[in-house]
Amino acid sequence: MDYMTLKEASEKWGVTPRRINYLCASGRIPGAVKMATIWLIPKDAQKPQDKRYKKNKST
């Protein structure tokens, strides 16, 4: 299986490496593994939905 680093994932998904690190640590990216101090993310992984915002805002 091919993996990408936090930096590569952040460029691909348009978010900061710190955010990717948080998503990996909280288990939100399936298949992500930590080797020593580096997170490895599967190249075919999808960007998790951002749970900070609601999809449908009712006004």
pLDDT in tens, the chain (59 residues): 799 999 999 999 999 999 999 999 999 999 999 999 999 999 999 998 877 777 666 65
Which pTM value belongs to this model?
0.79
Sequence ranges of the domains in the chain:
3-42
CA atoms of 51 and 32, how far apart (whole Å)? 19
For residue 36, the one-letter residue type is A
Tokens of 58: 């009712």
**DSSP label at residue 47:** P
How much is the pLDDT for 58?
Answer: 62
Q: What is the pLDDT of residue 34?
A: 95
